[in-house]
Structure formats: C-alpha cells, structure tokens
Structure 1
C-alpha cells in the first residue's frame, strides 16, 4: 500500500490486484449464510473490509489523478478501476440493507465513483451534501456523542468537494479554508495523516501560502 501511494507503478498494480482478490472474498462472504456465525460480528467485519477497499481504491485513483493534474492533464479512471469500485460499492449497498451503519457510507462512495468517471457534478454535489449535512442533523437529534460516527465521512466529503468539484459548487475561499481546517482536525483524530496533509496543502493554496491552523 505504501508503495502504491508513493507513486510506484508496480506498487499500484500490486495494490489493485490485492483489492480485486479481497473484493472477491468479500462478495463471497456476503453470499454465505450466517446461521452458524454471529451475524452482528460478520456485519462489522464486512463493513470494515468494504470501507477499507473503497477507501484504498479512492486513494489509488486520487494519486494518479494528482500526478496527471501536475502535468496539466485530466485523469479519468479506467474501465477496470471503475468496475472494481462498482463491485465493492454494490457490496456496500447490499450490506446496508441489513446493517444500518453501512448506509451512511453509501452516499460518499457513490459520489466518489461519479468523480472517478467524470460524471455530471450536479448529482455528485448532491450526494456529497448528504455526508456534509449528516453531522448537523445528528447533533440536533441525538447529541454530540452520536455525531462522531459520521464525522469522518463529513471530513472526506469536504476534501473531495474542495479538490474535485467545480468552483461554482463551492463556497468562498475563506469558507473552504475553514471547512478544510475542520476536516484536517477530524482526519488527524482518526489517524488518517495522508488525507490530513492533503487538507493542509489545500489550505495553504487557498491562503496564498499561509496555512490556517487546524487546531
């Protein structure tokens, strides 16, 4: 994984192959009866696996997209990349039918695959809004403790929106910097240093070289 995210082509291909194998095992596990197992534990493991696979596929795509952008080019995911992502997204949707915690992750990953495919940004923005609004709704209804499970999705949605959506869909640079600082704090708390650094780099660009403290 480290090699793949460091930009090494052989590492990226190796990680993609690992994703494909894990994806196949995940799909098989979703089709096995849980009569002899603990269904709740199965669902937790399946969700963790599915979310990890989708997050890794996203990271691999963003690494290649970033490299292309640096060259002034536009990178669009290949059919193979999209097929793998769609398969894991299908697993997540299926899991969401019987395991509620999986449902809140569906919108974020649906938005991601649209970004990968270069689809119309209008619907993509609407899907990201589900993750962006979720924390406020939970705070109002259930309190701060119950809000935590959705904060990582919100942080990731902020990062994706600020990085990939057209400027016409986004708020002013100052507001974007505040949102990115919030996302950086959340991602740092959950141990996602790479995404946290991405937020900080975007804040620096928005501030013309001056970072806004994410603390």
Structure 2
C-alpha cells in the first residue's frame, strides 16, 4: 500500500503541472484580440477550457480531501493549488464580463475555492445558493454551451454542499437524499459518471445514518 502512494503523488503533481500550462495558454488567449465574427466561438471554447480546468482542479482536491477524511483528518488545499485555482477563476471572471453563459459558473467555482481553503462556511453557503436555485431547462440559445443550462451547476452545488458544508447548513437527511438523487440524474445525463457515483454513495451513507458533511 505504501509503495503505491508515491505513484499517486507523482500523478497528482503531473496533473497539476498540465493544469498550469493549460492555464497559462488560456490566460494568453483571453488577452488576445479576435475578430467579431469569431468572438462567440472563441468565447465558447475559452469557457469550455476554463470550466474543464477548474473542474479538474476541484477533482484533484476532492481526491485528497476524501483520503484525509477516511483517516479522520481535514485537508485544505496547498498555497500552490489555491493560487492555480484563483488564476483560472480570474480567467472565468474576465470571460464572464462579456459572455453571459460564463457568469452562472462563477458562483459555483467561487464557493469551491472557499471550501478548498477552509474559509467560513456562511459565505460559501450563500455562493452555493446561487447555483442551487432551480432553473427550468430551456432550449439552447445562441451562445449556450450546455444542453441543460444551469442544471449541471445546480447538481454540482448539491454534491458539494452535502459533502463539505457543516450539518447546520444542510436540510434533513431525507431532503438531502431527494436532492442528491436529482443531482445524480442530471450528472448522469451530462456524462459525469464519477460525480453521479459520488451522489449515489452519499445517498447510501444517508440511508445508513452516516454523517456526510465535514465538521
């Protein structure tokens, strides 16, 4: 078991290294002027890249956090992890100024970086609430990059809240299970099998009376 740990650490650092290089290219892209005819397409690609980077950084952090929780410990992201996340979050904010589909993702990732840093849960909960507000699925409009606008952010916010917020910020176990089941269906639709499985595991823990949230 111990022999496998260095390999996992090396894989984590390698993934973060790729994130840093991609992050630099993204920032350069955002600071380059482009023709009006290609502005929407460029923004869509930049949003896709930015959201992917932030989601990958979140996934890497959650793997570390889950390992620590299994040992009864609390894991907060390192300074370098937070710096990288903040840089990509800055890219997302910059993109959101002129591209509305990016705006709704800002609240979710702002909440995530607070969870990573172990910041006060009150403001984190408020940020997650922006994504938790139910949005009806509408047909995609010009410039939309999701087939279910806002629904993936809502599903991810549910998962983050149930996994990381203190119990005092959460609803009853029964209500949590209903929300997690909704989140699992959405995440399955968009092809995020890992997060869907995480929701299902939390539902199982809830049914067994196991506390889900970090204290």
TM-score normalised by length of structure 2: 0.88
**Secondary structure of 1:149's partner?**
coil
Aligned-residue offset at 1:44: 0.4
1:62 matches 2:73: no
Partners of 1:193 and 1:204 in 2: CA distance: 17
Which structure is higher in RCO with an 8 Å CA cutoff and minimum separation 6?
Answer: 2
The equivalent residue for 2:116 is 116
Partners of 2:208 and 2:103 in 1: CA distance: 38
1:10 matches 2:10: yes
Aligned-residue offset at 1:10: 1.3
The count of residues paired between Structure 1 and Structure 2 equals 197
**Secondary structure of 2:97's partner?**
helix
Partners of 1:75 and 1:39 in 2: CA distance: 40
The equivalent residue for 2:132 is 132
**Secondary structure of 1:34's partner?**
coil
Partners of 1:83 and 1:130 in 2: CA distance: 24
Aligned-residue offset at 1:144: 4.3
Aligned-residue offset at 1:134: 4.4
Deviations 1:21-62 (A, max 9, x none): 000000000011113861111100000000000000000000
Asked whether the 8 Å contact 2:111–2:124 carries over to 1, the reply is yes
The equivalent residue for 1:35 is 35
**Secondary structure of 2:119's partner?**
coil
Partners of 1:40 and 1:30 in 2: CA distance: 13
The equivalent residue for 1:196 is 196
- Larger proportion of helix: 1
Deviations 1:148-186 (A, max 9, x none): 210000000000000000000000000000000000000
Aligned-residue offset at 1:145: 3.7
Which segments of 5 or more consecutive residues in structure 2 lack a partner in the other structure?
Answer: 1-6, 141-146, 210-215
1:106 matches 2:103: no
Partners of 2:192 and 2:78 in 1: CA distance: 26
The equivalent residue for 2:71 is 71
Aligned-residue offset at 1:11: 1.1
The equivalent residue for 1:187 is 187
1:167 matches 2:167: yes
The equivalent residue for 2:144 is none
The equivalent residue for 2:95 is 95
TM-score normalised by length of structure 1: 0.88
**Secondary structure of 2:64's partner?**
helix
